[in-house]
Amino acid sequence: MTLPDPSLNSSPETSHAVSPVDEHRHPPDADDLWNESYYFDFVHEDGTVGGWIRLGLYPNRQVAWWTTWIVGTDRSGVCSVRYDTPVPGSDGLVAEDSDIRIELDVIDPLKVFRVAASAPAEVFADPAAVYAGTSGSPVRLDFDLTWSTDGSPYHYLLTTRYEIPCLVAGTVRIDNEILTIRGQGQRDHSWGVRDWWAFGWCWSSARLNDGTRVHIADIRMPGFPVAFGYVQSPGVSGDGGSCDTVTVLSVTEDLGAHGFPTSARIELGCGDQAGALVIDVTPIAYGPVLFRNDDGRTTRFPRALVRYVVEDGRQGYGWIEWNQPD
């Protein structure tokens, strides 16, 4: 994550506004690690299955990173990863070669976004096997999913990135198994220099059972901690809801084997309501990846489908991730 000019979007009225034109690609600067990232995740309505998808474009390296997991309760995870997918030309959003095709389609900017893909994948009974480079059982992964905005798009301060809470529908096919998805999720889009190996973070997004959307990003830079996030009440799409910016944030986690967090607690506040929301986080299934830079640096990236329980009794599902540089 890059942290450029802090005056970006500094007007109180527009500090978190997102421009529809930013849904599309942006011209890169000359930095080797300049990246344009499209992120998507989803959870089926009963919490039994979910997935995350990322296409990261590195035009100065002439590669695209493709990382995807489908996970759930009582099922092995399915992982599709490629770090040498061709970068789409010009302003295109279709990455493909002989055995993979990823199509991102901005159907209605800031409202509807479709992702369709067909790629080789592997099945892992133990998700930590990807850290060791162990191969799983080969399968074919295909999906066609649509993210429809369910709240307000939210632009970070200090960095070129925005998040959008969504409802998600479509299909996932794993060889001959077809999963019909109807649930919720999050998508985000960022562009700039992304050095995965420089510092850690914790990112999370949730939908509670009363329709409240919660998103946080705890950026763990030594000597310069940064927090982003929002709490959006039901109806924020134009039916009387509200969107409050997170101003105080604390995230703690208990680490288990392989650095997988086994539980976490999020305490956040908006405005002068420090600690107003306390959420316990319990992982349901993990979908991790290992990122290795050309200079040998590595970072472990455990992502997890999780259950959230708020101190006031509300519950929900979503995704959480940690970046854990060596």
CB 253 within 8 A of CB 263: yes
Q: What is the pTM of this model?
A: 0.93
Determine the structural domain holding residue 103 and report its residue range: 20-325
Q: Is residue 92 part of a domain?
A: yes
pLDDT at 89: 87
| Among the listed residues 218, 226, 213, 220, the one whose alpha carbon sits nearest the alpha carbon of residue 277 | 213
Q: Is 279 exposed, middle or buried (0-12, 13-18, 19+ CB in 10 A)?
A: buried
Q: Is residue 165 part of a domain?
A: yes
Q: How large is the average pLDDT for residues 211-222?
A: 94
| Among the listed residues 290, 308, 307, 297, the one whose alpha carbon sits nearest the alpha carbon of residue 131 | 290
Q: How large is the average pLDDT for residues 310-316?
A: 96
Q: How large is the average pLDDT for residues 221-240?
A: 78
**pLDDT band at residue 14 using 50, 70 and 90 as cut-offs:** low
Average pLDDT score, the chain: 92
Q: What is the pLDDT of residues 240-262, one digit of tens each?
A: 457 899 999 999 999 999 999 99
Sign of the dihedral defined by the CA atoms of residues 180, 84, 201, 226, in that order: negative
**Residue 305 CB partners (closer than 8 Å, separation 6+):** 43, 47, 50, 71, 72, 283, 284, 285, 286, 287, 317, 318, 319
CA distance 163 to 110: 10
Q: How large is the average pLDDT for residues 207-220?
A: 96
CA distance 326 to 317: 29
pLDDT at 147: 98
Number of domains forming the structure of the chain: 1
Q: Is residue 207 part of a domain?
A: yes
Q: Is residue 11 part of a domain?
A: no
Q: Is residue 6 part of a domain?
A: no
**pLDDT band at residue 274 using 50, 70 and 90 as cut-offs:** low
Q: Is residue 88 part of a domain?
A: yes
Q: Is residue 242 part of a domain?
A: yes
Q: How large is the average pLDDT for residues 217-235?
A: 89
SS3 letters for 7-20? CCCCCCCCCCCCCH
Backbone angles phi, psi at 223, to 5 degrees: 80, -5
